[in-house]
Structure 1
Amino acid sequence: MTGIRTAAAGLTLLLAAACTAPTPPRSQAAGTTDGTVCAPPQSAPGTETPTTVDVIEQAYFCILGNYYSGATLEARSLLIAGFIALTQELNRNGRDVPEATMPALKGDRKADWAAFEAVYRKTTDQVPAGLRDRLAVVTLEAIVAALGDNHASWAHDIERPPDYYDGDGYGLGLQVNVTRSQATHSPATMLPPLFVTTVQGGAAQAAGLRPGDIIESINGSAPYVDGKATPAIGALDLGYPQARPVRLRLLRQSTGRRWNVTLKPGLYQRDLAILQTVQSKLLDDSIAYVRMRGFAPDSANRVLKAITRLRTGRTLTGVVLDLRGNGGGSPTEAARVLSAFVHGKDTHFLCTADGRCSSVRTDDTVELLNLPLVVLTDRGCASACEHFSSAVKDLRLGRLVGTRTAGLMSGPSQAYLLSNNTLLGFPSKHGLGANREEINRIGVAPDHHVPLTAEDAAAGRDPALAQALTLLHK
């Protein structure tokens, strides 16, 4: 969890997916089950307009027509989830409508939608315009959430604060030892204590926080109770436009000091190194260390050029590829980096709901490095990063050091433009590892489990990197 989050992030990721994904079949580009246009965007969407029942209908049929298991999906579950959200929002606003009763659904997708729409319109026609807009939003959000897919999303309400630019960070200015994906998708993997791993700037820096500081309470609530994570941790991940100050109770173990601080989210200038997708340096005079924060377009070429540069004039004895915090990106870029370590292999499989799979192969035009490899992983390594990590392990290309990956490998997300200029994203195929194993919700286990502790963070130690160097020196 970074404490840095912009509402534009979902838009950026979905547009990136649209740019790197192959052109969909004509049936996808032409329309959905009911003939409503549902196509990948060709450029950035225009100004967002209100969400209406027609937009919900478009999204519903877009999912049924294009989601990887859309043909076999129990469509009634989507409509039920949407209606539950609608009635709950009515209740939160102190209202109710006699007609807000779920209609009988019989399993015919078009007929069920017609019944749903009729009740929806009768209900929303009786509430003020502002609440009507909100009801549409929560209904569509719930329909997408009902897929239970970590690569399904709906990007809307895209906003940026005044004077925002790409070099700015926004939030509390700190990172902690759990990730947003853990908090959202797998809270059971979050283990105490909660502590600061990095101070990036902003309020955290101004308040004097340091790596290793333990967070004992958040807004008066403990982050863990009986070893289990609590919702309090979510307050550290504030985004637009609901950002509020956060009260923390901290412990600095080295001195025994306990104190309280209130951090107000805001803009701050981030270290430029954080913005670089690929960073590299030479370790112990013979080991290339490359940190890769994402599999962005052309990142594979930058990784390979960095290793070649470090190799110039010396003999390298190994490569450490640091993928901690790598949230994924392009499977093609992941396959290209893998291709520097092996040729002629399947690195990943993309499958339909009926079990038909196509493979992602190595790019054998990439020159082999012929160097030992150690990959550093953590719970922030997700999606294409897990594609890479699982292939390293399955194909025995090197060793993984650190902690288990995120388990967020449902499949590459394709973006679809809705009529109100919002983006709906979900996978058209499901991802499996090189051995056709399931990785989604499980993650990839490291060969050497080396977690970071609060003591390590406070002392500036990197035990996973130290283990990697030990392995490469053997």
Structure 2
Amino acid sequence: MFAKAARVTIVVLGIVTAAAGLLSVGFVAGTQYQAGQRTLATGGVQVPGLTPGLLPITAAPANGGTPGDLAKTFKPFWEAWGLVHDQYVDQPVDDEKLMQGAIRGMVNALGDKHTSYLTPGEYEMLTSGLQGQLEGIGAEVDTSGEHVKIVSPLPGSPAEAAGVLPGDTILKVDGQDTTGLSGAEVILKVRGPAGTKVHLTMGREGHDQPLEFDIIRARITIPSVEGKMLDGGVAYVKINNFGEDTARDLEKALKDLRQQSPSGIVLDLRGNPGGYLDAAVEVVSQFIGDGTVMIERFGDGHEQTYTARPNGLATDLPLVVLIDEGSASASEIVAGAIQDRHRGSLVGEKSYGKGSVQTSTTLSNDEGAVKITIARWLTPDGRTIHGQGLTPDVAVVRTEADRAAGRDPQLDKALEILRK
């Protein structure tokens, strides 16, 4: 999930991010924090192409050490840089690739899969925007593991039609092994113009052999919010992501549904990888009258509490929320607040477990960006769900056979609860 002030978000195989390691293959994005910059003058290290006596460090944080400390710390780096330029067999070396590799290594050393360096191409992909228009197979993906994993095929997408399921991993794209490729590189290979074909080799839990899929890419429109009345007078609202227009679209959907006097409401967050923090706060405010929605905890121990905004349109309706392993980040903020505040029941499967907030800062010379975890978030009762997920109040599994047959036992259970 991304702080609104730092509008970089998730991606889609469209491809639409996320989180963060979550990507919606379409895309998610926004503005960035701008880092202040200063140049630190030090002595002693001469680097090819640089003025002797200057240590080329910019945007140094206040706690990054004195110029002398930094000179000592970075001396081995610049020695290695010089040795590569002087001694590597295949000259000239590509300074840009060396620089990008150094930054990537630095952030990877933090051991946080949600903190990463984005090349210019990757950053452009991530900042394409949660605008709901994309060309590709239509699947939300998680790029944090060795292989890109499908979080959820988008409703009505080529991926869904081909039989791709949540949890599938992309092993090959058009015959090319994806091992060792970044998530962004895999996504770019899966993307393509509408009407063209891509061949995917996928791994699936419980299957000894990989599965093969030929998928025709398409132009896909992803509505942020979908609402309708179900039999029995129950309203149903599906939120696909938390983007720029989600709060507005949800308000419109709820106004339309309330005119039909629903007896209760099902809020479906399954397969929703998250998005903007402020969108999550606005969404949950439609269902919770007041009080704490979430708590943000920063590295220095400082906390910021987010409270529900007034005049929610569905604070009085019986409520059930559907979640699954594809419900992440902003989805978990909404579900966690509803669970802690005893506003409604969670039905389905354990959620993804992403309890952190990222911001993205662009780097100088159009050299991409660094996405950094700036805080952890807690539910209103102070629970952390990072790496654990939310446990539903009523556990119901939707199997591969259920999906193939068009059955939805999770929705059936939600309706049963509301009709009691």
TM-score, normalising length: structure 2: 0.71
The equivalent residue for 2:231 is 284
State how 1:436-455 maps to structure 2 within 5 Å: 436-455=382-401
Asked if the contact 1:338/1:388 (under 8 Å) is kept, the reply is yes
Of 340, 345, 349, which aligns to 1:403?
Answer: 349
The answer to whether 1:417 aligns with 2:362 is yes
Amino acid paired to 1:304 = E
User: Which secondary structure state, in structure 1, belongs to the residue aligned with residue 288 of structure 2?
Assistant: coil
Asked if the contact 2:275/2:329 (under 8 Å) is kept, the reply is yes
The answer to whether 1:180 aligns with 2:145 is no
The equivalent residue for 1:115 is 75
C-alpha distance in 2 between matches for 1:55 and 1:382? 42
The equivalent residue for 1:31 is 37
Greater shift after overlay, 281-290 or 126-135?
126-135
Q: Structure 1 residues 109 and 339 mapped into 2: Cα distance closer, same or farther (>3 Å)?
A: farther
Q: Structure 1 stretches of 5 or more lacking a match?
A: 19-23, 36-51, 66-70, 77-107, 220-229
Amino acid paired to 2:380 = A
Of 132, 135, 152, which aligns to 1:169?
Answer: 135
User: Which secondary structure state, in structure 2, belongs to the residue aligned with residue 441 of structure 1?
Assistant: coil
The equivalent residue for 1:133 is 96
State how 1:136-285 maps to structure 2 within 5 Å: 136-158=99-121, 167-170=133-136, 173=137, 180-181=141-142, 184=144, 200-201=157-158, 209-210=162-163, 238-241=186-189, 245-247=199-201, 261=212, 263=214, 267-270=217-220, 272=221, 275-285=222-232
The equivalent residue for 2:8 is none
User: Which secondary structure state, in structure 2, belongs to the residue aligned with residue 239 of structure 1?
Assistant: helix
The equivalent residue for 2:406 is 460
Q: Structure 1 residues 416 and 245 mapped into 2: Cα distance closer, same or farther (>3 Å)?
A: same
Of 268, 272, 275, which aligns to 1:329?
Answer: 275
* Higher fraction of strand: 2
Asked if the contact 1:376/1:400 (under 8 Å) is kept, the reply is yes
Of 1, 13, 16, which aligns to 2:30?
Answer: 16
Shift of 1:333: 2.0
The equivalent residue for 1:41 is none
C-alpha distance in 2 between matches for 1:109 and 1:11? 43
Asked if the contact 1:199/1:211 (under 8 Å) is kept, the reply is no
Q: Structure 1 residues 305 and 150 mapped into 2: Cα distance closer, same or farther (>3 Å)?
A: farther
CA deviations 1:31-80 (Å, max 9, x no partner) are 37959xxxxxxxxxxxxxxxx9x999547x4xx56xxxxx6xxx89xxxx
C-alpha distance in 1 between matches for 2:106 and 2:187? 22
Q: Structure 1 residues 199 and 338 mapped into 2: Cα distance closer, same or farther (>3 Å)?
A: closer
Shift of 1:374: 1.0
Amino acid paired to 2:110 = L
Q: Structure 1 residues 427 and 401 mapped into 2: Cα distance closer, same or farther (>3 Å)?
A: same
Asked if the contact 1:249/1:260 (under 8 Å) is kept, the reply is yes
Asked if the contact 1:247/1:262 (under 8 Å) is kept, the reply is yes
Q: Structure 1 residues 381 and 212 mapped into 2: Cα distance closer, same or farther (>3 Å)?
A: closer
C-alpha distance in 2 between matches for 1:29 and 1:437? 32
Asked if the contact 2:14/2:24 (under 8 Å) is kept, the reply is no
Greater shift after overlay, 238-247 or 109-118?
238-247
User: Which secondary structure state, in structure 1, belongs to the residue aligned with residue 346 of structure 2?
Assistant: strand
C-alpha distance in 2 between matches for 1:110 and 1:352? 25
Amino acid paired to 1:417 = T
Amino acid paired to 1:291 = K
Asked if the contact 1:201/1:269 (under 8 Å) is kept, the reply is no
Asked if the contact 2:26/2:132 (under 8 Å) is kept, the reply is no
Q: Structure 1 residues 245 and 320 mapped into 2: Cα distance closer, same or farther (>3 Å)?
A: same
C-alpha distance in 2 between matches for 1:428 and 1:213? 29
Q: Structure 1 residues 416 and 16 mapped into 2: Cα distance closer, same or farther (>3 Å)?
A: same
Shift of 1:282: 0.5
Amino acid paired to 1:144 = V
Q: How many residues align?
A: 372
C-alpha distance in 2 between matches for 1:117 and 1:213? 42
Amino acid paired to 2:112 = D
- Alpha-carbon RMSD: 4.8
Greater shift after overlay, 121-130 or 4-13?
4-13
Q: Structure 1 residues 142 and 449 mapped into 2: Cα distance closer, same or farther (>3 Å)?
A: farther
Amino acid paired to 1:437 = R
Q: Structure 1 residues 4 and 379 mapped into 2: Cα distance closer, same or farther (>3 Å)?
A: farther
CA deviations 1:97-140 (Å, max 9, x no partner) are xxxxxxxxxxx862354314422421342343454433322222
C-alpha distance in 1 between matches for 2:419 and 2:407? 19
The answer to whether 1:300 aligns with 2:239 is no
Of 410, 433, 450, which aligns to 2:379?
Answer: 433
Shift of 1:415: 2.1
Q: Structure 1 residues 260 and 342 mapped into 2: Cα distance closer, same or farther (>3 Å)?
A: closer
Asked if the contact 1:6/1:240 (under 8 Å) is kept, the reply is no
C-alpha distance in 2 between matches for 1:217 and 1:12? 17
The answer to whether 1:315 aligns with 2:281 is no
Asked if the contact 1:300/1:333 (under 8 Å) is kept, the reply is yes
Amino acid paired to 1:156 = T
Q: Structure 2 stretches of 5 or more lacking a match?
A: 1-10, 42-49, 173-177, 192-197
Percent of aligned pairs with the same residue? 24
Amino acid paired to 2:79 = V
User: Which secondary structure state, in structure 2, belongs to the residue aligned with residue 263 of structure 1?
Assistant: strand
User: Which secondary structure state, in structure 1, belongs to the residue aligned with residue 296 of structure 2?
Assistant: strand
User: Which secondary structure state, in structure 1, belongs to the residue aligned with residue 321 of structure 2?
Assistant: strand
User: Which secondary structure state, in structure 2, belongs to the residue aligned with residue 470 of structure 1?
Assistant: helix
Q: Structure 1 residues 174 and 457 mapped into 2: Cα distance closer, same or farther (>3 Å)?
A: farther
Asked if the contact 1:347/1:387 (under 8 Å) is kept, the reply is yes
CA deviations 1:150-191 (Å, max 9, x no partner) are 442333242799xx9974432xx375xxx733x62599xx9x
